[in-house]
Amino acid sequence: MNPAPFLILETGRPVPSLRRYGRFPHWIRVAAGLEEHETVVVDVEHGDALPDPRAFAGVLVTGSAAFVTDHADWSERSAAWLRQTVHAGLPVFGICYGHQLLAHALGGEVAYNPAGRESGTIELELQPQAAQDPLFQGLPQHFAAHATHLQTVLRAPDGAEVLARSPLDGCHAFRWGRQAWGVQFHPEFATHHMRGYVRARADCIGRHGGCARSIERAVSAAPLARQLLRRFVRQARLSSAQPAAKQG
């Protein structure tokens, strides 16, 4: 019997200059070690229906150029679906917009980051509770990750554990319940993705007081952040196998 596939909720597209590398679900599959047949992609931004989550081993939610605070119909429908999915106990992993959407769905607060735009390869600092987290445990207290965002989770949902922060963002990762994670950074980004985003957002970076050329030159590999996607896949598969093991 084949294992259940993973559902990828596609909430947006890469910037035009990076679309030659495929869409976000492809980037996630590569980083997570998933084959195409092991995933189902639902393009919620363009109106695809949201399926029964019980058919999947877990859910991954992509980034987007949209803003959660715009409360678009497709986004609010996705938030309601995520809330039900998380409460049903299905493993969920939200990235950037997906992180913010998950926080919004669970009662957290999303808004523009008072510190301004965060772009490039940044340093994350794990919080003490990360030492006991199934995905983050064993990672060093400080490690590199790729980020590009204007909005952020200003307040994590009630009951959530904040797992990581950066100098510009106090909630770069959280876990709600046993297996719903949000990360503001982009574990699916390779260095060419990050450099491309810095170039594409150069004007905005400048308006927020940054130097895009310096940020682009400082981009470096972030292998530990990238590991988190494979860790999520492994954790979700273990979780989905447990009921079958009990029945056997």
Averages of pLDDT over runs of 10 residues in the chain (248 residues) are 92 97 98 98 98 97 98 98 98 99 99 97 98 98 98 98 98 98 99 98 96 98 99 95 48
Which residue has 């495929």 as its token pair? 22
Q: Is residue 245 part of a domain?
A: no
Q: Is residue 247 part of a domain?
A: no
Q: What is the pLDDT of residue 88?
A: 96
Q: Is residue 186 part of a domain?
A: yes
Active site residue 118: no
Active site residue 96: yes
Q: Is residue 1 part of a domain?
A: no
SS3 138: coil
Q: What is the pLDDT of residue 172?
A: 99
Structure tokens at 148: 């590009």
Residue of 118, 188, 193, 216 marked catalytic? 188
| pTM summary value | 0.95
Q: What is the CATH number of the domain that holds 62?
A: 3.40.50.880
- How many domains would you assign to the chain? 1
Q: What is the pLDDT of residue 229?
A: 99
Residue of 96, 99, 118, 146 marked catalytic? 96
For residues 183-211, one letter each, b for 16 or more C-beta atoms within 10 angstroms of the residue's C-beta and e for the rest, the string is bbbbbbbbeebbbbbbbbbbeebeeeebe
Active site residue 76: no
> Does residue 21 contact residue 192 with C-beta atoms inside 8 Å?
yes
Residue of 99, 186, 193, 216 marked catalytic? 186
Q: Is residue 246 part of a domain?
A: no
Q: Is residue 56 part of a domain?
A: yes
Domain hosting residue 15, numbered range: 6-240
